[in-house]
Structures are given as C-alpha cells and as structure tokens.
Structure 1
C-alpha cells in the first residue's frame, strides 16, 4: 500500500513537471497596462500603510519615497504631487526588511507630509504648507490624529515593493493594482530599478497603443 502511494506521488510529480515544460504554460502572460495609466499625468507616491518603521533604519521608507519621486521627476512622464486627490495614479512603495520575520514599529503618520514637491538641483525637496495632509485612504478628508504607535511583526516582507494603482477613485488601494514590482533592492537609491522597469512597461504600452489605437 505504501509503495503504491509512493509510486502515485512520483507519477503526479512527473506529470506536473511535464506540464511546466510545455511552451504554452512555461511562458508568463504578457502584462498589459490599463488605459488609465497611459492617460495619467500626475502621480502621488505613498508609503505602504501596512509598512512598519525598522528599528535599524527608521527612515528607510521615507527615503525610498523621495527617491521614487526624484526618479519620476527625472523621467518627466508623470508629475509627482503630494495630495492623492490631485493624482491620476497612486504608487505605493515599501522597503523590504530583508528578513522573513522582523519586528518593526507601526506608525500611521508616515504618509503625513504637508507641502509640495519642489525639484532642486540636488534632487527633490518637500516644503511649503498647503493645508492639512490627506490620509493614504484618499477619502478626501484630512487625516486624523494617530491612535497610537506600537510594535508589530512583519512576515514575508523581504523585498522592496512598488505598486501602481488608479487615482481619483474611492478607496484606490482597495482596487486591483495596475502594475506591481517586487524585488531585492528595487527601491535602491539613485538608480531605483522599480521606476526603470515601470518606465519600460509604459514605453511598451504606448508603442502597442500607437499601433492599435
């Protein structure tokens, strides 16, 4: 009985490997960006609301946020804005912890940035108060005071993430993402590979759209 079960498991494993070897299944599907991405002009970059503050690098997510905004400014395709109400797209970033399980600090104030984005010769500066900041939920209402900062455990957030959502909709982060990138050092300063990959995707989508308007 045991030998029969072992042979059955082996046979199923071989079938599964054979299916993976088929050309039609081995290739990943080509990603098609939604039309609203190509029509977008403004973008707001937010820190993932679920991301915690690392004990060893407390400003990692804020630095990644500014690096992404700087890379977008250099690209010139989209205009970074502070308010999610003014954004055609919302990009959510999160620096990976590099660990399968890590202790961080939950703080809802990470996305509370008053002011405007001002490109400078050295990169990017944020300043100039323009009303109260908005909550990451894009409800259109000013963010409330945090109920409390507390430790939390992050599981599986080993890699950097960069996710694009449609803006100017109710609860944008609750909608399916238009595109996502996850990888080690995807939000690396100066280079920001995630922005480079997104740039390639947009270029391919625009090229395809020009052939099939």
Structure 2
C-alpha cells in the first residue's frame, strides 16, 4: 500500500514569518485587500480527503462562502471567474497525523446552491479553469496516504491577481481550533475585524 506523508513545514515557516493574525498593535494590509470585492474560496490543494470525515473540508469551504455572503463585502466566485482574493481553507482533524485519500479533485464543484438569510447563490463550473493545473499530467486515481497537518483549522488569504491557484506569500492567515466552525465561522469574523480596523487606521492618518 502506497503511504504518502505530507508535512506542512514550509507552510508553517511562512506563517511564522507573517506574525500573529489579528494582531491589533500593527495592522498591515496591502491596498488591494481593502479594495477587493470578489473572492475565490478553495480547499487547500495540498489537503487530502479525510477517511473519517471525508466532507469536512467541503463543508468548511461552503460555510466560509456563506459567511462571506452574509458579511456582504466580498462576493464568492467560481474557478474560472476573476477574483480579487483567493482564500484556502483546511479543516483540522484534531490529530497531528491522519489517514487520507489522495488524488481526488477536492475543488471540483459542478453545481453550487447556497442560501443565507437574505441571499441565494446558484452557480455552475464549466470546463477546466484557466490557469489551473491540467489533470492529464497528474495521477488522479484515489490512493491511501498519511497526512501531517496543523491541529487547528486553517484559513489563508492570497492575492487573487496571481491566478486561481494559491501562489506566493499569503497576505493574511488565521489558525485556531474550530476556526471554520459553522455558523459563526470565527476565521471570517476575524478577517472582517482586521479589514475594518485597517480601514479605520487608514482614515485616521493625515
């Protein structure tokens, strides 16, 4: 049986260089984040499918999109559509190492129907998104593996102008136990706070 271990040391190293998310003492966000109005929410492409909770990441993805819709500032879009920001999510298994199924198309979403208290979103993804890796060069057959990951939920924000797949250094991140928990989704709430605080700070400057 093929066993594949994914260790997120590089991701953790990047996070440590960014400081603590939500630090109110120093609010530094690029202008494009404050101007952003569209967002693409993806499951972390490096995340395997949990054998014990196979829908955990997809549920977290949808919960984040619903929370963003409820906020109203950022409009979720599908792959292939322009996005100012890209957010990746990864649900914790509450274990440092867990068995997973790799090779599955984690972000394949042919039809989407989402409803909040005051809005409804219906969409369909057609064809292969521009800029996305071609599946013909990858082994997409389901295969068992082992995955090492942070024991917390992970929410990472990237510059969407780089394309539909996360690239470069994240502009903001949030890691916390139950950080992607529905219905409040603390990660989105914290992202909202940091943006609103940055805007207030910007207005207060001469």
Normalised by the shorter chain, which TM-score bucket? 0.7 to 0.9
Query: How many residue pairs get matched?
Result: 183
Extract unaligned runs of 5+ from structure 1. Answer: 1-26
Name which of 121, 128, 131 aligns with 2:126: 131
On the 8 A contact 1:114/1:132 being kept in 2, the answer is no
Query: TM-score normalised to the size of structure 1?
Result: 0.75
- Residue 198 in structure 1 maps to residue 191 in structure 2: yes
Give CA-to-partner distance per residue, 1:131-153, whole Å, 9 cap, x none.
Answer: 2252xxx6167765853221221
The Cα of 1:203 is off from its aligned counterpart by 0.3
Give CA-to-partner distance per residue, 1:47-74, whole Å, 9 cap, x none.
Answer: 0011111111110000000000000000
The Cα of 1:207 is off from its aligned counterpart by 0.9
Give CA-to-partner distance per residue, 1:26-62, whole Å, 9 cap, x none.
Answer: x996241111100111001000011111111110000
Q: Which runs of 4+ in 1 moved over 6 A?
A: none
Of structures 1 and 2, the larger Rg is shown by 1
Query: TM-score normalised to the size of structure 2?
Result: 0.78
On the 8 A contact 1:44/1:84 being kept in 2, the answer is no
Taking only aligned residues, the RMSD between alpha carbons, in angstroms, comes to 2.7
CA distance in 1, matches of 2:29, 2:78: 24
CA distance in 1, matches of 2:102, 2:125: 26
Alignment of 1:145-164 (within 5 A): 147-164=140-157
Give CA-to-partner distance per residue, 1:74-132, whole Å, 9 cap, x none.
Answer: 000101111254110000000011011111111341101134665455986554x3522
Extract unaligned runs of 5+ from structure 2. Answer: 1-22
On the 8 A contact 1:68/1:192 being kept in 2, the answer is yes
- Residue 112 in structure 1 maps to residue 108 in structure 2: yes
On the 8 A contact 1:108/1:146 being kept in 2, the answer is no
Residue 15 of structure 2: aligned partner: none
